Chain A
Amino acid sequence: MDIKVLGPGCAKCQQTEKVVKEAVAEAGVSSTVEKVTDIRKIAEYGVFGTPAVVVDGDVKCVGKVPSKQDVKKWISKQ
């Protein structure tokens, strides 16, 4: 599973990356978590704001820090 956390790098983006990594570890799912900080690459996803989370190419949330519960739901459905 390929997970991307989109965000140039502020407290919310860092928190999102932390939440995602914790959720992945707790769920025991095999995946890569990549932080995308380049604005041009972020823009390619068509998101209105950051942070944003993308799971296997599917944008799951935009503009907010997701809950760990939500992240686990997303990764369990893949």
Chain B
Amino acid sequence: MENKCCAANNEVMILACSGGSNVGQLSNRAAVELTQEGLGKMYCLAGIGGQLKGFVQSAKDVPVIAAIDGCAVGCAKAILKNAGIQNYNYIVLTDLGIEKNKNFDLSDEDIIRVKNAIVAACKGPNVGAEAGKFSRIVGCCG
């Protein structure tokens, strides 16, 4: 945690799949790089999934979430649903045309494509996990 007072109230919380496939690891890698580049701050999807109170309350209280699933199995979406969180920007990497496989040599091209998609998702209307559902539009992400 940064030694910065009152951090993160206006930051994007980035919650990424990190599953055992290329798209899981692309999600994770994109989240790391976007955190390093200042889009927002990567946070602990597993903590929310484990229903650890600090993590769940943080996700409920943060103004903007970017949730990234590797594929249509939708683990991040399911975790947020179980935590009662509905308003978030959401992308699924296989929807970008990236085929899911077990090749962990991630291409720079795919990483860039994923990052651009996340940034675009944050800049546009805040579409929830269900198509056509709009919630807050927040001027975040750059």
Residues of A within 8 A of B (CB): 7-10, 12-13, 39, 42-43, 45-52, 57-64
Contacts and interface: CB of A to CB of B under 8 A. Distances in A.
A62 B7 CA distance: 10
B5 A43 contact: no
A46 B58 contact: yes
Interface of B: 1, 3-9, 11, 13, 41, 43-44, 47, 52-62
Contacts of B47: 46
Given A46-B44, A49-B9, A58 B53 contact: yes
Contacts of B52: 46
Does more than half of chain A's interface fall in helix, strand or loop, or is it mixed?
loop
A50 B5 CA distance: 7
A50 B57 contact: no
Given A46-B58, A62-B58, A63-B58, A9 B5 contact: yes
B61 A10 contact: no
Nearest to B63: A63
A10 B6 contact: yes
Given A13-B5, A42-B1, A50-B7, A63 B62 contact: yes
B75 to A, nearest CB: 19
